Structure 1
Amino acid sequence: MTKLPVFTSSLLHPRYWINWFCIGLLYIIVLLPYPLLYKLGTSLGRLAMRFMRHRVAIARCNLLLCFPDMLEKEREVLLRQNFESLGMGLIETGMAWFWPEWRVKRLAYVSGLEHIKHACEENKGILLIGLHFFTLELGARIFGIYNPGIGVYRPHDNPLLNWLQTWGRMRSNKSMLDRSDIKGIIRALKNSDIIWYAPDHDYGPKSSVFAPLFAVPKAATTSGTYILVRMASPAVIPFVPRRLPEGRGYELIVFPNERLFPQENAIAVATYMNYLVERAILLAPDQYMWLHRRFKTRPTGEPSLYR
């Protein structure tokens, strides 16, 4: 497990000065009142659409693949809202890492914590299913305030940013685990810990099976969920942190334990997991990270969906 990283003088090297400037700027910005942060974040997201044309094209393609029956005009509105959420995601990362607990709690409305309590009373480890929403960092902070757990993450290549993200995420969590440390994750679940786990990205052909996701019949989906469920028999509890309209705060929704979660094979597990992913995304489709190439891995011989 990764403990709170030790700050070293090497992180003050001139190569990191631009990083430090950006970190300091974000720290100062999130001192502003939330209504101003909301306006700033959404405006920043709309501005980003002009410069991130490649990501705009990917997001537009993902929305078309997943919602082919939606009117084009409606998808374009959703696309704009999605990039507004991208801008807010940057602001919310600063809020998650730098805000004091009282300020986070003042904006957060939480429901369903009793499902965590029931699973803990049964001495079960909890596989907490989180998704790649732009509210990811803030959602993890809110959840950790009430139920500290263990985060699963990919270490950042930049040592300073790796230190910062780990420090920020451990403000309300017990520890961190590298996403490749499957044995460590299983061990934690068997010890009745809460593991924050995101199974909704395309992690490549070596660790995936193909299962339906929205209107895409073959979406590469991690087979890691099957291993974890089979080896540790945890409670499987999805949660969604969504931003309320017009800057009214945040709602953290914790769902009941999925007691009928299948375990027979990796495809059955991936199919059911994608059903849970769909259900969660539909609660806040404008806040999901559509700008990633979710369907980049294709079955052998099938063309790319992004051409």
Structure 2
Amino acid sequence: MAHPQKFSLKLLHPRYWLTWFGLGVLFLLVQLPYPWLHALGGWLGRHSMRFLKRRVAITRRNLELCFPDMEKGKRERTILNNFTSAGMGLMETGMAWFWSDARVRRWFDVYGLHNLQRANEHNQGVMVIGIHFMSLELGGRAMGLCQPMMAMYRPHNNKVMELVQTWGRMRSNKAMLDRKDLRGMVQSLKQGETVWFAPDQDYGPKGSIFAPFFAVNQAATTRGTYTLARLAKPKLVPVVLIRKKNGNGYRLLIQPQLEGYPLDNEMAATCYMNKIVEQEIMRAPDQYLWMHRRFKTRPVGGSSLYV
């Protein structure tokens, strides 16, 4: 389990000044009214495409791979909307870390909280299946206000960012678990905790299995979901935060616990979970993190899917 990093004078070293400056600017920005943040975030995201050409290319390639039949014009609009969403995601990170509980609550509605409460009955551990939407940070904060939980994460290399992100994420949650700490996650689930886990990214060849994901037949997918499910026997509950249209806030969607997850067949279980992830992404595909190189890991002998 990761313990919150404590502030020390070492974090005032000149190497961190730019980080502190950026965090200070973000803190000040998110004091603006939400409609202004919505407009500013979208503007920043759209204009960032001029400078993030590699990320634009990755996003385009991911959409080509996942949706080969998508019409070119629609694909380009999706890319534009996706970067608009990414800019808003930056604002939402500041909102998640620096807004008060009351201000966060004002902007989201919860659907299906009873599903989580039912899954957690009798001190049953629950693995919340998270999806990497751009609003992920705010989703974690909102979820914690409904029911504090633990979350899997990757510690940040920048010690100032690690300090602030962990502090921000734990404002409404219990603890952060290093994604490599399998034992800690299993123990927490067995003790009846609710643990957030995201199975939808490419974490490299170690600990991955290749399974279909949208139109990509062999996508490196973490074995972690299956391992945790088999060892801890938790309930599995998908949860996502979706932006409403026209800057009207958010919907926190807590789905019923999954039924029929095949604990006796890893490949079947991986395919099952990838289908769940696909269903959740299609609720708001423009808001998903397409700029991640989701298919960078290939089977032995396979060529790269990215130019």
Residue 19 of structure 1 corresponds to which residue in structure 2? 19
Deviation per CA, 1:36-82: give whole Å up to 9, x if none. 00110000001110000001000000001111111111111111000
Aligned residues: 307
Deviation per CA, 1:116-158: give whole Å up to 9, x if none. 1111213211100111111000000000001000011100011
Output the TM-score relative to the length of structure 2: 0.98
| Structure 2 SS opposite 1:51 | coil
The structural deviation recorded for 1:10 is 1.2
Residue 210 of structure 1 corresponds to which residue in structure 2? 210
Separation in structure 2 between the aligned mates of residue 206 and residue 155 of structure 1, nearest angstrom = 18
Separation in structure 1 between the aligned mates of residue 302 and residue 15 of structure 2, nearest angstrom = 43
The structural deviation recorded for 1:205 is 1.4
The structural deviation recorded for 1:214 is 0.6
Same amino acid, percent of matched pairs: 53
The yes-or-no answer on 1:9 pairing with 2:13 is: no
Unaligned runs of 5+ in 2: none
Q: Bigger CA drift: 110-119 or 295-304?
A: 295-304
The structural deviation recorded for 1:244 is 1.0
Residue 149 of structure 1 corresponds to which residue in structure 2? 149
Separation in structure 2 between the aligned mates of residue 143 and residue 252 of structure 1, nearest angstrom = 8
Separation in structure 2 between the aligned mates of residue 185 and residue 67 of structure 1, nearest angstrom = 34
The structural deviation recorded for 1:235 is 0.3
Aligned positions of 1:97-176 closer than 5 A: 97-176=97-176
Unaligned runs of 5+ in 1: none
Output the TM-score relative to the length of structure 1: 0.98
Following superposition, which runs of at least 4 residues in structure 1 exceed 3 angstroms of deviation? Answer: none
Residue 265 of structure 1 corresponds to which residue in structure 2? 265
Deviation per CA, 1:96-122: give whole Å up to 9, x if none. 000001110100011010011111213
Separation in structure 2 between the aligned mates of residue 144 and residue 188 of structure 1, nearest angstrom = 16
Aligned positions of 1:9-48 closer than 5 A: 9-48=9-48
| Structure 2 SS opposite 1:253 | strand
Separation in structure 2 between the aligned mates of residue 265 and residue 183 of structure 1, nearest angstrom = 21
The structural deviation recorded for 1:249 is 0.3
Q: Which amino acid aligns with 2:224?
A: G
Residue 53 of structure 1 corresponds to which residue in structure 2? 53
Q: Which amino acid aligns with 2:247?
A: G
| Structure 2 SS opposite 1:50 | coil
Separation in structure 2 between the aligned mates of residue 6 and residue 70 of structure 1, nearest angstrom = 49
The yes-or-no answer on 1:89 pairing with 2:89 is: yes
The alignment's C-alpha RMSD in Å is: 0.8
